[in-house]
Amino acid sequence: MDTDDLVQESFLRILRAHASQPVEHPKAFLFTIARNLALNQIRHDRHEHREALREIDPSAVLDDTPGIPEALARRQEHELLIQALQSLPERARQVFTLRRIYGLSIKEICARLDIAEKTAEAHISLAIRRCTDFVQTADQRAPRAPAPAVISIHHSDA
């Protein structure tokens, strides 16, 4: 209900009240009606607001952005990939990067680097094999968290 509706409803109510019996203090009565209507509207709005909040799907407000551990792991994986790519022979790195990072076709890579398709495919195979080995070796070198110590408690009969 907007302000104009509130004023109109207030006047209608005072006219109805006056039709049944004379109103002694019309101005005070009008303000009382208007105040009560406004308070009723506020209560109604609050109730609707609460109902609207209940209808919100909690999954719609969940934060799906990765937390600090996930972001750190992703950054470490990214750095490991960069190191693996840097360890490749230059031509294999070029071919692999053009294919996997830039999405060029084998024919486009061959035209750009002036190499045969079989050569490009061999460079990609070599890059995949070497990157896989690099990551596995790095994983084996990664420090491991120590296993939790097992504490046994013995009860003695004293």
**pLDDT value of residue 7:** 76
For tokens 């009860």, the residue is 155
**pLDDT value of residue 158:** 46
Residue 91 inside a domain? The answer is: yes
- What is the residue range of 22's domain? 3-55
- Residue 124 sits in a domain whose CATH number is 1.10.10.10
Residue 45 inside a domain? The answer is: yes
3-state secondary structure the chain: CCHHHHHHHHHHHHHHHHHHCCCCCHHHHHHHHHHHHHHHHHHHHHHHHHHHHHCCCHHHHCCCCCCHHHHHHHHHHHHHHHHHHHCCCHHHHHHHHHHHHCCCCHHHHHHHHCCCHHHHHHHHHHHHHHHHHHHHHHHHHCCCCCCCCCCCCCCCCC
Low-confidence stretches of the chain (pLDDT < 70) are 1, 48-66, 142-158
**pLDDT value of residue 14:** 75
Q: How far is CA 56 from the centre of its chain?
A: 16
A 10 A CB-CB count for 96 gives 23
Say yes or no: 74 and 16 in one domain: no
Say yes or no: 83 and 134 in one domain: yes
Say yes or no: 50 and 83 in one domain: no
CA distance 103 to 106: 9
How many separate domains does the chain show? Answer: 2
pLDDT in tens, 136-147: 887 777 665 555
- For the chain, the residue count is 158
Residue 63 inside a domain? The answer is: no
**pLDDT value of residue 25:** 78
Say yes or no: 122 and 80 in one domain: yes
Say yes or no: 85 and 134 in one domain: yes
Residue 148 inside a domain? The answer is: no
CA distance 30 to 10: 6
Say yes or no: 95 and 133 in one domain: yes
